[in-house]
Amino acid sequence: MINKNTHDLIKTIKVEDWPYQAVYDFTKNHLYVTNQRSNSISIIDMQDYKIIKTIDEICEYPEGIDISYKHKLIVVACWFEDNITLLDLGSLNVLKKIQTSGGPRAFGKFILEN
């Protein structure tokens, strides 16, 4: 973790293989990190910088990740599985996998809500 103002290293947190992208949930003070080679998502409590949960086998090569507060969803672009996986923001259970083509990829914030 790096201080956004000073760019100083705060702490190193070991997650699963090939951490790729992260999204911050300000309602829970959690950081969700996709781990490509582990096919998982690590959930970090930003109060004490500890991993509180790992969601295994989320999909093959989870890449982009974002949050829809309007629909209470975590949205994951699953590159090698050709789908977008939707998780319930509260329970963290997989709700649905939406098939795509061509290996969906996403970088940064990709959900725009009014």
Domains located in the chain, CATH noted: 19-99 (2.40.10.480)
In the prediction, which pLDDT does 49 show?
Answer: 95
Single out the residue of 68, 51, 47 nearest to residue 111, CA to CA. 68
Beta strands in the chain (DSSP E): 19-25, 30-35, 40-45, 50-55, 62-68, 73-78, 83-88, 94-99
DSSP, res 65: E
Strand duo 94-99 + 50-55: pairing? unpaired
Backbone φ/ψ region at 22: left (φ over 0), alpha (ψ -120 to 50), beta:
beta
pTM of the predicted structure, to 2 decimals = 0.91
DSSP, res 60: S
Per-residue pLDDT of the chain (114 residues; tens, 9 = 90+): 888 899 999 899 999 999 999 999 999 999 999 999 999 999 999 999 999 999 999 999 999 999 999 999 999 999 999 999 999 999 999 999 999 988 888 877 888 787
Strand order in the sheet with 94-99: 62-68, 73-78, 83-88, 94-99
Strand, coil or helix: 105? coil
